[in-house]
Structure 1
Amino acid sequence: MEPTGGDLDAFLEKVAPARRRDDARRLVALFREATGEDPVLWGSIVGFGSYHYRYASGREGDGPAAAFAPRRQASTVYLSDGVGAHEEDLARLGPHTTGVGCLYLKDLAQIDLDVLARIVRRSHAALTAGVFGDRARDA
């Protein structure tokens, strides 16, 4: 995966519905503050910083160290270190659903944004500490 660049404001302007667009703008500010990184588009993903991974199989590559995608149904927050690493914080976050490495947020107004910022900060720190070799499903 590689950053594609592009105009973030133009990308955000096209996000629908309007509530998801507003959430995306709030998430940009939250991620920027939590990571100290500027946003960069990786296709339809808004990424902050990058990390290198290397799996035991020998496969390796790069990905955004912290990222989210504004999708129609929910804002998707990518936690490449796995949601299991954040169980205690997730219990205090507010209404959400999860996948192995994804956090789905349907209504940012119901989320504890301080808890979300802590999750993003911890995930970003884990991924940027060096070569990250675990898959989210194995973490």
Structure 2
Amino acid sequence: MYELKTKETDNSVMDFIEQVDSPKKREDACRLLDIFTEASGFTAKMWGSSIIGFGSYHYKYASGHEGDAPLVGFSPRKAKISLYFATGDEEREELLGRLGKHTSGKACVYINKVADIDVEVLKALIQRSIVFLRDMYPEKN
């Protein structure tokens, strides 16, 4: 059976950020930590060894695969900073058009530095992603 690699851990977010090689990337990671915390309303948690996530949701696909994931998050990687938002939301594409200098993969948005993007648009992306995922995967009590 498939086991998720990226699970929430008890590792320290600040310890992880302090080990980022580049001083500029460390500074941006601290800034993103503040932005994501403020915009999401969640406390940062480490997911796996390198993703800083905020909140969580439980998903279940038609295939039967299910698991938990952060609602939003980021990772200060060596090459670029990865930002994690929900996919499949039309509003995401509109917001990304106003974000600033970035590239996109299927699930990730990549930036070189926070100075390249509009922080208010980033906050809107964070908040929109949370709403979208909560609508798509409502918690069952």
State the TM-score, normalized to the length of structure 2. Answer: 0.87
Work out whether residues 96 and 104 of structure 1, in 8 Å CA contact, stay in contact via their aligned partners in 2.
Answer: yes
Specify which of 57, 60, 75 is matched with residue 54 of structure 1: 60
Q: Which of 34, 42, 58 is residue 37 of structure 1 equivalent to?
A: 42
Name the SS of the counterpart of 1:3 in structure 2: coil
**TM-fit CA distance, 1:91:** 1.1
Alpha-carbon offset, residue 21 of structure 1: 0.8
- SS across alignment from 1:40: strand
User: What residue identity is the alignment partner of 2:123?
Assistant: A
Partner SS state of residue 53, structure 1: strand
CA change 1:18–1:84 in 2 (3 A) is farther
Find the partner of 2:12 among 1, 7, 11: 7
Residue 21 of structure 1 corresponds to: 26
The yes-or-no answer on 1:106 pairing with 2:106 is: no
TM-score, normalization: structure 1? Answer: 0.88
Q: Percent identity?
A: 42
Q: Any idea what SS the aligned residue of 2:70 has?
A: strand
Write the deviation string for residues 37-87 of structure 1: whole angstroms up to 9, x where unpaired.
000001210010001111111111100111111101111011233475411
C-alpha distance in 2 between matches for 1:80 and 1:89: 12
* Separation (CA, whole Å) in 1 of partners of 2:104 and 2:65: 25
In the TM superposition, residue 129 of structure 1 has moved relative to its aligned partner by 3.3
CA RMSD of aligned residues (A): 1.6
- CA-to-aligned-CA distance 1:18-47 (integer Å, 9 cap, x gap): 111111111111111111000000121001
- Aligned partner of 2:21: which letter? A
Call closer, same or farther: CA 1:81–1:124 in 2, change over 3 Å.
same
Closer, same or farther: CA 130–82 of 1 in aligned 2, 3 Å:
closer
Counterpart AA for 2:35: L
Deviation at 1:5, TM superposition (A): 1.6
Shift >4 Å, 4+ stretches: 82-85
Q: Does the alignment pair 1:86 with 2:71?
A: no
Could you give the per-residue CA deviations for residues 66-118 of structure 1, whole angstroms, max 9, x where no partner exists? 11111011110112334754111111111000001100010211210000110
Aligned amino acid, residue 113 of structure 2: D
